Amino acid sequence: MTERTVQDVFDDERGNDNNIERIEEELEELTKELKNKKLKESELKKERETLQIDLLEEGKLEWIESDLDDWDKYVEENTPVNYYIYRYDGGIRQQGYYKGELQLDEKDEIHFRKYFDDYFYYGYPNYQDVNHPHADGSECYLAFGGGDAYVETFECE
């Protein structure tokens, strides 16, 4: 093995300085990219929050717990609404109607149908990233899909 010279050290120092400079430039670029990605993350979260609606929270629907007789009286005196009996594990969990359901606009009606089971199971829409690699379905999806939960609907005439 040959003995190192001062020139070898100069060469190594220069190489090391060049590496430091390159890494600092990459770090600066990565820091900028990270800042932009965090900003994008915040923007996407705000956008998602504006798209996630809850018809009960917004006051477009109101759940009214009632029996069939009270529902029939309501329908006779007011606007028509459907009556629901939500059953879970063999027992009745809720029975009543959503005041305002038949007055929903098309967008809200589509949303309500899509998250119908969630409104009974959770009391609100449970937004899920179904494309996430580890998504395996919500508890609601499993309960309704397995037959443990279902909603019986009586449409007003």
- What pLDDT, on a 0 to 100 scale, did the predictor assign at position 1? 81
Domain that holds residue 92: 62-154
Task: Identify the three-state secondary structure at position 38.
Answer: helix
- Locate 71 and state its tokens: 């529902």
Task: Identify the three-state secondary structure at position 119.
Answer: helix
- What pLDDT, on a 0 to 100 scale, did the predictor assign at position 34? 98
Quote the number of domains for the chain.
2
Q: Assess whether 27 and 69 both reside in one domain.
A: no
In a domain, 33, yes or no: yes
pLDDT band of residue 8 (cuts 50, 70, 90) is very high
Q: What amino acid is encoded at 155 in this protein?
A: E
Other CB atoms within 10 A of residue 96 CB: 19
List the beta bridge partners of residue 92: 87
Please say whether the dihedral angle defined by the alpha carbons of residues 29, 30, 32 and 37, taken in this order, is positive or negative. Answer: positive
In a domain, 57, yes or no: no
Q: Assess whether 75 and 95 both reside in one domain.
A: yes
Q: How far apart are CA 95 and CA 28, in angstroms?
A: 60
Residue 157 has pLDDT above 80, yes or no: no
CB 143 within 8 A of CB 114: no
pLDDT band of residue 156 (cuts 50, 70, 90) is confident
